[in-house]
Amino acid sequence: MSNDRTFTPAAGRAEWTPFYDFAIALLTRERRWRSALLRQTAPAPGDRILDVGCGTGTFAVMLKRAEPGAHLVGLDPDADVLVRARAKAAKAAAEVAFRQGFARDADADAGRFTKVVSSLVFHQVPLEEKRAGFAAIGRALRPGGTLHVADYGLQRTPLMRAAFRQIQKLDGFDNTEPNARGVLPELMREAGFAAVEETQVIATVTGSISIYRAQRADV
């Protein structure tokens, strides 16, 4: 990973990372969207699954516990959050390999993964990194592999728009606004994904979280 890139930490500021898990549980209807994303990902024995922007490792650990026969890799640029992720996985006795890197580094193991997941990451990265990230994820997947994303997406109502302003204040307007305008499916298609679908929209007090599914196109 090159060191000249910056990123927004999990909770918006590095000093707030210790409170990230608590804030997500409180402010995002976490159980609802994580269980929807887990059902959709449907981990199977022999799956090789990459979690892009894995943060404190909650979803990678959930996947491993749901299907111990799947191989899990978590990727995140933040060394501090990875310390927390490793501790969480060790406590849960869940074997997950954690690596430091950005979404655009997802293709370090090109063609190796059957599934890629990502939750609450793309809203807080610059547009150029969203593009580069989806392109690298496409290369990381095997032919026929699938992408499963949960993130703040198109904010359809004035109420959800207003709620999402809290996230925009925390994570910055420039990076978050394209998500609120519904750019993610368009960027997935641009990166060559097929069958791009928004499968669920979940209203929360911090804006609506969309679940997306897409497939590497060359099947």
Residue 80 CB: number of other CB atoms within 10 A? Answer: 14
Q: Is 125 in the site for ligand SAM (CB under 6 A)?
A: yes
Please list every residue from 133 through 192 that binds ligand SAM, using CB under 6 A: none
Minimum distance between the CB of residue 219 and ligand SAM, rounded to whole angstroms? 26
Q: Output the DSSP codes for 63-102.
A: HHHH-TTSEEEEEES-HHHHHHHHHHHHHTT--EEEEE--
> Residue 34 is which amino acid?
R
Binding mask 71-110 for ligand SAM (x = CB under 6 A): -----xxx--x--------------------xx-------
CA-only gyration radius of the chain, Å: 16
Structural contact between residues 67 and 43, judged by C-beta atoms closer than 8 angstroms: yes
- Only one of the segments 107-115, 118-126, 158-166, 200-208 lies at the binding site for ligand SAM (rule: CB under 6 A); that segment is 118-126
Q: Is 119 in the site for ligand SAM (CB under 6 A)?
A: yes
Minimum distance between the CB of residue 106 and ligand SAM, rounded to whole angstroms? 8
Please list every residue from 12 through 31 that binds ligand SAM, using CB under 6 A: 24
